[in-house]
């Protein structure tokens, strides 16, 4: 056995080796790390392909629904109903873009999402309106996993966004319902609207309470939740105000307060779960309540057609682009 005293170089080498073991470096050789990274990369690629495939399936579903809806439209009647006023169309486009743009602002803060996320959010809106509520969130989740290259799953943020949107929408709708209650009870809208608004309000409160008392509701930090809630409130206020303005531009003789009440009714119906074609449901109920006024009934019927047409156009454009892009990438 040698009793040679270690030199300075030997001591330095021994110290580096000890530090390497302490940090877990020497215990995992470089080839092992490379294999692990390669396997992780393959797993990410598989998830991206699956996410892209799911997004393509939803896009195909949108195209099928678009084709079915087009068969029910009367082009001649629609052309006669189209407003010729430029301010109307400006407000309509702003109002239509309000939800996806507000969501883009939020996701821009959370994920630094690029401008290419706006079309994805538009597709989400179309999926929710034409197909099924919250199906758009599934498609956006697939897009986020496939296109943003996220290490962590975006499901938590998307889930928090959906819950906060529902909670904020319910609270804002109930506040607007309370503010418009005097007009509702006055009978100025024609038939007895008190019972209708009360029934819808009870259903809304019930769904709100169920949602509020769920366990472990949110995953985002408190500060982000407050900011998201603020953006949702601003969006809802702007959306209701612009909707009332949109109708007022067509029939300026009708008091703006009446339009605000009808916009509140529209918000009530939009917050109800499992109600398909909410614009058509709103228009049917509003026409029943305002049946004494042919002009208002005509306007609401026209709007019930106009929004689906907008969804059809947007859905067709973006679903086609998405399918072409997916085929090129495949």
pLDDT at 164: 83
Which pLDDT value is given to residue 96? 94
Rounded CA gap, 257 and 238, in Å? 15
Query: Torsion angle, CA of 110/167/300/277, rounded to 10 degrees?
Result: 80
| pLDDT reported for residue 9 | 47
* 192-225 confidence digits (pLDDT tens): 565 656 666 665 666 666 556 555 677 888 888 8
pLDDT band at 3 (very low <50, low <70, confident <90, very high): very low
The pLDDT assigned to 92 comes to: 95
Chain segment 6-27, per-residue pLDDT in tens: 444 444 444 443 444 444 444 4
Chain centre distance of CA 308: 17
Q: What is the pLDDT of residues 129-151, one digit of tens each?
A: 777 667 788 888 888 877 776 65
Q: Which of 276, 314, 329 is nearest to 99 (CA)?
A: 314
Higher pLDDT, 68 or 217: 217
pLDDT given at position 258? 83
**307 or 275: which carries more pLDDT confidence?**
307
Q: Among residues of the chain, what percentage have pLDDT more than 90?
A: 11
State residue 17's pLDDT score: 38
Task: Share the mean pLDDT of the chain.
Answer: 72
Residue 95's pLDDT band, with cuts at 50, 70 and 90, is: very high
User: Measured between alpha carbons, how far is 135 from 123 in angstroms, rounded to an integer?
Assistant: 10
In this prediction, residue 274 has a pLDDT band, given cuts at 50, 70 and 90, of low
Q: Are 320 and 312 in contact (CB under 8 A)?
A: no
The rounded distance, in Å, linking the Cα atoms of 118 and 164 is 20
Whether 70 and 312 have beta carbons less than 8 Å apart is answered as: yes
């Amino acid at each position: 056995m040698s009793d040679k005293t270690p030199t300075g170089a030997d001591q330095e080498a021994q110290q580096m080796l000890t530090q390497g073991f302490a940090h877990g470096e020497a215990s995992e050789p470089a080839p092992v790390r490379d294999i692990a990274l390669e396997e992780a990369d393959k797993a990410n690629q598989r998830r991206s392909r699956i996410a892209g495939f799911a997004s393509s399936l939803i896009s195909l579903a949108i195209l099928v629904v678009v084709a079915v809806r087009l068969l029910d439209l009367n082009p001649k009647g629609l052309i006669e109903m189209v407003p010729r006023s430029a301010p109307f169309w400006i407000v309509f486009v702003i109002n239509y873009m309000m939800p996806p743009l507000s969501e883009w602002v939020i996701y821009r803060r959370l994920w630094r999402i690029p401008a290419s996320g706006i079309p994805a959010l538009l597709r989400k809106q179309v999926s929710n309106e034409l197909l099924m509520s919250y199906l758009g969130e599934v498609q956006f989740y697939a897009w986020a996993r496939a296109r943003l290259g996220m290490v962590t799953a975006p499901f938590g943020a998307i889930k928090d966004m959906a819950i906060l949107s529902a909670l904020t929408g319910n609270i804002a709708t109930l506040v607007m319902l309370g503010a418009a209650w005097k007009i509702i009870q006055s009978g100025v809208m024609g038939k007895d609207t008190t019972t209708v608004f009360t029934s819808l309000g009870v259903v809304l409160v019930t769904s709100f309470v169920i949602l509020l008392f769920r366990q472990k509701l949110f995953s985002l930090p408190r500060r982000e939740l407050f900011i998201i809630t603020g953006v949702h409130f601003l969006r809802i206020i702007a959306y209701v105000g612009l909707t009332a303005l949109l109708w007022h531009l067509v029939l300026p003789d009708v008091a703006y307060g009446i339009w605000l009440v009808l916009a509140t009714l529209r918000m009530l119906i939009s917050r109800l779960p499992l109600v398909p074609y909410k614009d058509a449901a709103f228009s049917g109920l509003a026409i029943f309540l305002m049946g004494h006024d042919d002009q208002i009934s005509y306007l609401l019927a026209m709007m019930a057609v106009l929004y689906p047409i907008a969804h059809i156009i947007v859905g067709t454009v973006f679903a086609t682009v998405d399918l072409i892009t997916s085929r090129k990438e495949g």
